[in-house]
A and B are shown apart, each in its own frame.
Chain A
Amino acid sequence: MFGRNRSKNETKPLERYVRDVEVILQKIGVNLEEAKMALEEGYGWEFRRGSASIEIYIVQRDDKTFLQVLSPIMYLPQSNLLPLYRRMLEYNLQMTSASLGIFNDLVYVFSERPVIGLDADETDAIIDFVSAYADELDNGFVNEFGGRLYLQV
């Protein structure tokens, strides 16, 4: 996940996809200069859609390249984790084109699809799905289970 385990000999085709995705992001109004993440390895962009923070990564797995769209929504609370986890799994079964997941102590809304055949409209739609779920769920989760909204006091 997040493109951290790629081998270095895969960089050439990846860079080609990066250019494609950058064109798509520009078409949907993302400022690439501001959005580009300073990653030690791999490619990522971070921007806001509505009130949601959106992170986009390009990763390669088994010779296939994927577009990952993530929205970090909250830091896990110190307690009440079991009911929160159950609620997240219940939501996962109801969500369309997105799912909930955890990376370290952060809860994410997540969506992934192969880069091949991707166009601007579909990318825009995926980002809309993810940001809408993030907007819908974050306050509810924090109000019910505690924790802290991502990058908010």
Chain B
Amino acid sequence: MSSQDIINKGIEAIRQGQPDEGARFLRIALKDATVIGMYRANALLWLAETTDNNQSKLNYYQEALKADPNNADVQLRIDRLMAVNLPPTPPLYTIPTPPPIENPPPPVEFYSPEPPISTSPIIEPEVPPMTIIQPTPPKPQVTINANALYRTVGIRDVRNGRGTGFFINREGIVATTRYVVSGERTVRVQLDERQEVEAQVVRVYSDVDLVFLSTGLTIQHLLPTVNNTNLPENSALVAHSHYGKSVTGKRRATKNELKHYWIPTTIETLPDAGGLPLFNDANQLVGMMTKNTSKTTAYCFGLHIHHIYLLWERTQLDFGEPNTVYCGKCGNRSKSLSAKGGYYCESCGAVLPHGEDIRRFPTPEMAWRYGENLNAPCDYCQSRVGFYDDKCLRCGTAKKKGKK
């Protein structure tokens, strides 16, 4: 059986409402390196119809475009998928047009419960000759489609349920929310239905609910970003979850004084734990959706993409400093690593990873690192740890009047 026959089998199975079986046939056929051009693109378009995951669809479309760069149908589908109000199941053809190839992909509604065209059982395809199907080399642990545009990634195995994130640079750094990642040091990042990598948490900014993850991947295409820092009131917004759902809303007008980086929206509920990329009506990335609300409304807020980039630049400066280590408790990078006895994060006091499984001992010489010994001694206990509310932070004794 030729690869084209296998493709036809796959398409027939999909038409009969058996997407899994159809996808299996198509994947077998696509292993054949001699299936190229519009035939390959056609198979990939049909394969894209077997998944509801927009990211996977997009990957198939990108691959199809690579196989057949002048295929207007593929480009149309990509444009549709990337459009602001993502139609989950848009019919691409209302008027049947002469198909360029034998089996054009169907409108996306093909899953509707129509009676099957044929009830004949699907025949298991014969294994194509070895000369047609090239043996695939053993794959490295993570292979990503170099041409793919990963609009979202999924964050799994986290305390608050699954969340979404997105790449912010070609070095594979993912932005998501602190609420999604919780206090984890590593998380599983899902690129599409079949690809997943482990990512390290490299920095947390709790004050703006932002986390940067390092996936170690190299990304070719990034989401187009808005140039303007100001979003007009009532401008349309849409946020895409990695798990197939999108939410739409507007940039909400508010009289409350807000930090410039928060984007008030009319979105009330998110389809997952947060971290969804937020787009404007020009399909430009404007920020990241969080589950944060204000005291007076139930509307969720986004975090502006320019602030995310600003904080990433700050994070890179931290990386530039030698001997720093990530504190998983507070998300800061500690400089205590270089100091003898520097077991604790100077930001939050937590034991750092290198100090966890060793015998720790008092290190008074580290006091300066924690901001101690910079103050006048307490009259009662002589501690120089400092005062708050005119009381010694060590013993609580009130400071004598007139003493600084």
Contacts and interface: CB of A to CB of B under 8 A. Distances in A.
Given A38-B162, A75-B206, A85-B349, A151 B328 contact: no
Contacts of A103: 183
B292 interface: yes
Contacts of B329: 104-105
B347 interface: yes
Contacts of A134: none
Interface residues of B, number: 39
Given A81-B348, A105-B330, A152 B161 contact: no
A153 B207 contact: no
B349 A152 contact: no
A37 B330 CA distance: 24
A148 B207 CA distance: 6
Contacts of A153: 258-259, 262, 292-294, 301
A148 to B, nearest CB: 5
Interface in B175-218: 178-179, 182-183, 204, 206-207, 209
- Chain B facing A: main interface SS: loop
Interface string B359-379: 000000000001100000000
A105 B161 contact: no
A62 interface: no
Given A85-B349, A104-B330, A152-B294, A37 B183 contact: no
A101 interface: no
A78 interface: yes
A37 B161 CA distance: 7
B271 interface: no
Interface in A85-110: 85-86, 90, 103-106
A147 B388 CA distance: 17
A105 B179 contact: no
Contact of A81 (B291, B295, B349): B349
A51 B347 CA distance: 29
Contacts of A76: 206, 330, 348
B78 interface: no
Looking at A2, A78, A103, A105, the one whose CB has the most chain B CB atoms below 10 A away is A105
Interface of A: 2, 37-40, 51, 75-76, 78, 81-83, 85-86, 90, 103-106, 147-148, 151-153
